[in-house]
C-alpha cells in the first residue's frame, strides 16, 4: 500500500516536470521548422540568381572612331517671310459699292479692276464743271473782242483810256474764270477716276471686306474715316527677315570684308517641311544698329517666289555659308545624348568600360552630327548595340560611320 502511494507520487512529479519544460520545446521546434522552410524556399532562388549572374555575358555595343572632315563654316537663323509691298485698299470717294472684280485670295495682275463705286454723282459733277469751262471760254472770247473794239475806238479818239483799261481787266477776269473752271473739271475727273479701284501691283488679294450694295465712305486724305475695302500683298519676290546675334554679325561682317565676300551675300533657305536648303536668296539689308535689349541686329534677304509657295507670315530657316573652314568630327546623331544643357557622347575605353565625354556639337552635315570639341580621333564612340549606362563593362564590336552624299539640312 505504501509502495503504491509512493510510485503514484513519483509519477505525478515526473508529469509535472514534463509539463513545465514543454513550451521551450515547442519554441525550439517551431524555430527549426521556420529555418528549414526558409532554406528550402530562398536557398534555390539565391543559388539560381547567383548562377545567372555569374553566367550573364557583358552587353555588346558597336563602336567606331569618329569621322574627320574639314567643313566650311555656316551661320543658321530662323526667319519669317514678309511681302515686299503691302497695300490697304481704301475708298477715296464715298458711294454705293457696285462691283467686285476678284475672288478672295486670288493672284491678280497689276492694273486689274478690283472695285467700282457708283460713279453717277461724280459724272454729274464732271459734266457741270465741263459746262462751266465752256461758259468761261465764251466769256473770255467776248472780253477779248470788247477789248479790241475799245482799243480801236481809243485810236480814233472815239473811246477813252479808262474804257480800254476796264475791258482789259474784264479779259483777265474771264481768263482766270476759265482756268478756275478747268481746275474744277480736273477735280471732278479725279473723283470720278477714284470710283474705280485698280490693283497697284501684281499680288495676292485678301478677302473683300465690303459687299456689293454697301455704302462706303472715303476722302482723299485717307485715315480711319475711310472704308477699308481689301488688302493686297506682292508675292514675287518676297522678303525673309531674320535676326543675327552680335557674334554671328561680327563673323559675317569679317567674311563680307574679305576678298571672298561674294558667297556671304547669298543665303540658302529651307521651309519648315523641307529637309534640304533648295532655295536661294540674296541678302539685301542689314540694320544700322543692334537692338540693345536682345543683342541682335535685323537682316533681310530677297527670295524669288515664282511658284508662289512662300506666303507672308510663314517661317523658314536661313543658312549663310562662309568660306572659313574648321576641322571637325562627325558622329551619328543618335550617339549624342542630352544631359540637361550639355551634350554627351558614350565612348569605350581600353579597359572595356563605357564612359561619357562632354562635347560641343553643331548642326547636321552629311546626315551626321558635327562635333567641334570633346572627342579625339582615337576615341571609340558607341554607335549601336545594347543600350548601356556609363560605367558598365561592355563587349565592343567594330562598326562603321557612313556619311551620306548630301550635306543635309543643317
Domain harbouring 315, CATH code: 2.40.30.170
Q: Is the same domain home to 391 and 349?
A: yes
Asked if residue 322 has pLDDT above 70, the reply is yes
Selection from 286, 378, 280, 294 nearest residue 329 by Cα: 378
Please, what is the average pLDDT of the chain? 82
Q: What is the average per-residue pLDDT within 208-217?
A: 94
User: Is residue 404 in a domain?
Assistant: no
Q: How far is CA 127 from CA 130, 161, 188, 190, in A?
A: 5, 40, 9, 13
User: Residue 244 and residue 78: Cα distance in Å, rounded?
Assistant: 10
pLDDT of residue 7: 41
Last residue of a domain, one of 294, 322, 350: 322
Confidence of residue 3 (pLDDT cuts 50, 70, 90): very low
Selection from 249, 282, 241, 277 nearest residue 265 by Cα: 282
Of residues 31 and 120, more confidence is placed in 120
Q: Decide: helix, strand or coil at residue 23.
A: helix
Q: Is the same domain home to 224 and 183?
A: no
Number of domains forming the structure of the chain = 5
Rama region for 257: left / alpha / beta (φ>0; ψ in -120 to 50; rest): alpha
Q: Which residue has the cell 567643313?
A: 71
Q: What is the average per-residue pLDDT within 28-47?
A: 58
Q: What is the average per-residue pLDDT within 272-291?
A: 88
| Class of residue 328 by CB neighbours under 10 A (exposed 0-12, middle 13-18, buried 19+) | buried
Asked if residue 109 has pLDDT above 70, the reply is yes
Last residue of a domain, one of 258, 287, 322: 322
295-320 pLDDT tens trace: 899 999 999 999 999 999 999 999 88
pLDDT of residue 381: 92
Q: Is the same domain home to 79 and 16?
A: no
User: Is residue 364 in a domain?
Assistant: yes
Cβ atoms of 332 and 383 closer than 8 Å: yes
Q: Is the same domain home to 336 and 384?
A: yes
Q: Is the same domain home to 127 and 189?
A: yes
Confidence of residue 50 (pLDDT cuts 50, 70, 90): low
Q: How far is CA 75 from CA 87, 193, 257, in A?
A: 33, 51, 16
User: Is residue 410 in a domain?
Assistant: no
pLDDT of residue 20: 47
Q: Is the same domain home to 186 and 124?
A: yes
Q: What is the average per-residue pLDDT within 41-65?
A: 66
pLDDT of residue 39: 54
Cα torsion for 92, 97, 99, 105, to the nearest 10°? 70
User: Residue 226 and residue 92: Cα distance in Å, rounded?
Assistant: 7
pLDDT of residue 40: 58
Q: Decide: helix, strand or coil at residue 287.
A: coil
Asked if residue 52 has pLDDT above 60, the reply is no
What CATH number is given to the structural domain containing 379? 2.40.420.20
In terms of DSSP H, where are the helices of 258-347? none
Of residues 26 and 71, more confidence is placed in 71
130-159 pLDDT tens trace: 999 888 888 888 888 877 877 777 777 766
pLDDT of residue 125: 93
Q: Is the same domain home to 141 and 183?
A: yes
Q: Is the same domain home to 98 and 227?
A: yes
Q: Decide: helix, strand or coil at residue 358.
A: strand
Percent of the chain with pLDDT over 70: 82
Q: Is the same domain home to 208 and 106?
A: yes
pLDDT of residue 18: 45
Q: Is the same domain home to 170 and 126?
A: yes
Three cell numbers written together for 363: 548642326
Asked if residue 10 has pLDDT above 50, the reply is no
User: Is residue 31 in a domain?
Assistant: yes
Q: What is the average per-residue pLDDT within 195-199?
A: 95
The model's pTM: 0.64
Confidence of residue 54 (pLDDT cuts 50, 70, 90): low
User: Residue 354 and residue 177: Cα distance in Å, rounded?
Assistant: 101
Q: Which residues pair with 358 in a beta bridge?
A: 344
Range with lowest mean pLDDT among 201-210, 243-252, 361-370, 379-388: 361-370
Which residues neighbour 65 within 8 Å (Cβ) at sequence distance 6 or greater? Answer: 377, 378, 379, 380, 381, 401
Q: Which residue has the cell 471732278?
A: 188
User: Is residue 50 in a domain?
Assistant: yes
Selection from 76, 141, 21 nearest residue 363 by Cα: 76
Asked if residue 285 has pLDDT above 60, the reply is yes
Q: Decide: helix, strand or coil at residue 328.
A: strand
Range with lowest mean pLDDT among 105-119, 198-212, 254-268: 254-268
Last residue of a domain, one of 261, 288, 322: 322
Q: Decide: helix, strand or coil at residue 290.
A: coil
Q: Is the same domain home to 44 and 111?
A: no
User: Is residue 38 in a domain?
Assistant: yes
Radius of gyration of the chain (CA): 48
Selection from 65, 63, 62 nearest residue 329 by Cα: 65
Three cell numbers written together for 358: 562632354
Cβ atoms of 97 and 116 closer than 8 Å: yes
pLDDT of residue 21: 47
Selection from 348, 376, 344, 349 nearest residue 359 by Cα: 344
Of residues 405 and 290, more confidence is placed in 290
Which residues neighbour 23 within 8 Å (Cβ) at sequence distance 6 or greater? Answer: none
Q: What does DSSP say about strands 395-398 and 60-64: parallel, antiparallel, or unpaired?
A: parallel
User: Is residue 408 in a domain?
Assistant: no
Q: Is the same domain home to 346 and 366?
A: yes
337-351 pLDDT tens trace: 887 778 899 999 889
User: Is residue 137 in a domain?
Assistant: yes
Asked if residue 200 has pLDDT above 70, the reply is yes
What CATH number is given to the structural domain containing 165? 1.10.287
Q: What range does the domain containing 102 cover?
A: 86-115+202-233
Amino acid at each position: 500500500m505504501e509502495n503504491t502511494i509512493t510510485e503514484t507520487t513519483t509519477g505525478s512529479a515526473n508529469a509535472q516536470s514534463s509539463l513545465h519544460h514543454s513550451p521551450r520545446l515547442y519554441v525550439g521546434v517551431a524555430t527549426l521548422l521556420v529555418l528549414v522552410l526558409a532554406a528550402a524556399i530562398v536557398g534555390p532562388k539565391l543559388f539560381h540568381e547567383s548562377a545567372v549572374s555569374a553566367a550573364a555575358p557583358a552587353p555588346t555595343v558597336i563602336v567606331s572612331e569618329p569621322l574627320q572632315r574639314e567643313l566650311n563654316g555656316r551661320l543658321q537663323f530662323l526667319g519669317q517671310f514678309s511681302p515686299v509691298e503691302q497695300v490697304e485698299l481704301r475708298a477715296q470717294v464715298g458711294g454705293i459699292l457696285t462691283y467686285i472684280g476678284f475672288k478672295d485670295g486670288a493672284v491678280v495682275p497689276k492694273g486689274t479692276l478690283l472695285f467700282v463705286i457708283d460713279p453717277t454723282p461724280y459724272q454729274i459733277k464732271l459734266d457741270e464743271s465741263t459746262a462751266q469751262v465752256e461758259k468761261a471760254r465764251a466769256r473770255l472770247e467776248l472780253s477779248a473782242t470788247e477789248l479790241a473794239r475799245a482799243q480801236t475806238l481809243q485810236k480814233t479818239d472815239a473811246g477813252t483810256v479808262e474804257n480800254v483799261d476796264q475791258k482789259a481787266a474784264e479779259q483777265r477776269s474771264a481768263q482766270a474764270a476759265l482756268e478756275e473752271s478747268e481746275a474744277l473739271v480736273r477735280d471732278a475727273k479725279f473723283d470720278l477716276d477714284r470710283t474705280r479701284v485698280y490693283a497697284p501691283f501684281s499680288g495676292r488679294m485678301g478677302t473683300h471686306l465690303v459687299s456689293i450694295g454697301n455704302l462706303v465712305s472715303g476722302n482723299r486724305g485717307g485715315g480711319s474715316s475711310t472704308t477699308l475695302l481689301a488688302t493686297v500683298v506682292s508675292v514675287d519676290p518676297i522678303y525673309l527677315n531674320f535676326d543675327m546675334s552680335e557674334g554671328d554679325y561680327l563673323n559675317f561682317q569679317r567674311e563680307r570684308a574679305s576678298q571672298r565676300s561674294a558667297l556671304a551675300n547669298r543665303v540658302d533657305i529651307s521651309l519648315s517641311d523641307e529637309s534640304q536648303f533648295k532655295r536661294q536668296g540674296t541678302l539685301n539689308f542689314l540694320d544700322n544698329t543692334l537692338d540693345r535689349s536682345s543683342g541682335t541686329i535685323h537682316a533681310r534677304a530677297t527670295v524669288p517666289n515664282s511658284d508662289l509657295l512662300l506666303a507672308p507670315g510663314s517661317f523658314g530657316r536661313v543658312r549663310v555659308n562662309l568660306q572659313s573652314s574648321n576641322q571637325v568630327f562627325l558622329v551619328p546623331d543618335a550617339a549624342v545624348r542630352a544631359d540637361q544643357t550639355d551634350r554627351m557622347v558614350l565612348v569605350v575605353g581600353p579597359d572595356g568600360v563605357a564612359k561619357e565625354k562632354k562635347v560641343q556639337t553643331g548642326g547636321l552635315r552629311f546626315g551626321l552630327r558635327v562635333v567641334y570639341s570633346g572627342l579625339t580621333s582615337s576615341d571609340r564612340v558607341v554607335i549601336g548595340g545594347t543600350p548601356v549606362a556609363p560605367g558598365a563593362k561592355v563587349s565592343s564590336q567594330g562598326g562603321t560611320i557612313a556619311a551620306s552624299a548630301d550635306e543635309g539640312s543643317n
